[in-house]
Structure 1
Amino acid sequence: MPNLRQLLSILLPPLLLGCSPPPSTTTNDINPVKTISYTVVSTGDGDTLKVQSQDGTSSKVRVGCIDAPESSQEYGPEAGQRLKVLLPSGATIELREIDIDQYGRTVAEIYSEGKSVGLQLVREGYSVVYHRYLDGCSDTADQYVAAEEEARSQRLNFWSQSDPVMPWDYRRGKR
C-alpha cells in the first residue's frame, strides 16, 4: 500500500507544481519559517552562490534539497549557467536557512520574486532532488518530488541522457 507521500506525489502534482511558499516570516504547526533578504554577489556551479547580507557580510550558500550536476559532468555547465540567469549578480533574494554544511556554507531554500529557485531548477531538469537531505524542505518536499518526476518523464536536460549519473555518485567516482 502506498504511503502518504507516494499518494500525494501521484494525486496532487498539478496542484503542487506552482505553489511555493512565499518568502516571509510565518509560523506553521511544525516550526517558524523565517526568510532573510540578501544580494547575489556571484554564482558558482548549479547549486552554489555567494551572497551579501544587508550589513555587508558575504557568505557562500548551497541551494537546499537539490543537487546539480558537477561542472565537469554532463549538463553541469548548463546547470551553472541557468542558475546565473535565474540569479544574476545584484539580484535580491530571500533565504530560508536550513543548515550549515560540512564546508561552512549556509544551506537554504532560495526564493527570487517569491518563487523557489531550487524548485525551478528541478522543474526544468537542471538539478535533481537530493532525497538524502529532503527533510530540510519538509513543507515543500512533495513539490520537489513531483517536479522531478515531471522533468524526468519529459526527459528535460539532465534527464535527456540515456543513463544519467546522479551528482552524488559522480562525486564518489562512479562515472
Structure 2
Amino acid sequence: MRSLPCPMVDRRAHTRRQRGFTLLEMMVVLVIAGLLVSLASLSLSRNPRTDLNEEAQRLALLFESAGDEAQVRARPIAWMPLESGFRFDIRTDDGWRPLRDDLLGPRNWEGGVTGVSISFPGSSGSDAQRDRVLFGTESIDAPVSVTLFSGAGSATIVGTGNGRYEVR
C-alpha cells in the first residue's frame, strides 16, 4: 500500500515558505537603522572646544620639542604667532631665520584659533608681554603663558621654566 500525499499538509508548508517578514519585524528593523544613523551623525560633528584644546596640546608639545632642539643645536629658537598660524625661528650668525623642517616649520592654525596672547608671569612693564616665546640653550627658561582664543573660548599653555608645558 502506498500512501498518497495529503493535500492539506502540502498547502501549509507552501504558505509557510511564502510568508516573509511581518510589519512589526520591519518596523523594529527601521527603528534600529534610524538609531544607528543618528548616532553616526552625532559622532561626526566635533566640539569646537575640543578642537581648540587639541591645538593647544599640539602647540605645548611643539614648545617642548623646540626647547630640546635649541639645546641640541646650541642656538636659541623663538616661536612667533602670525595672523594665520605660527612659525619657529632660529638665531644664526646673521640674525633670525625661519626653520623649515617638518617638525618646527611654519604652520597654519587649526582648531579655530583667532588670536594669541603671550605673557611672562613675574615680569613687569613691557617685558610682561612680548610678541614671541624664546627657547634658550639652557634647560631653564623664563615661565610663560600662551593663551589661544577662538569662538569657543580660550586655552592656556603654561610653561614653568623647566622645559615642560601643560594646557589649562
TM bracket, shorter-chain basis: under 0.3
Task: Choose 1 or 2 for highest CA Rg.
Answer: 2
Q: Could you state the TM-score of these two structures normalised by the residue count of structure 2? A: 0.26
Q: Could you state the TM-score of these two structures normalised by the residue count of structure 1? A: 0.25
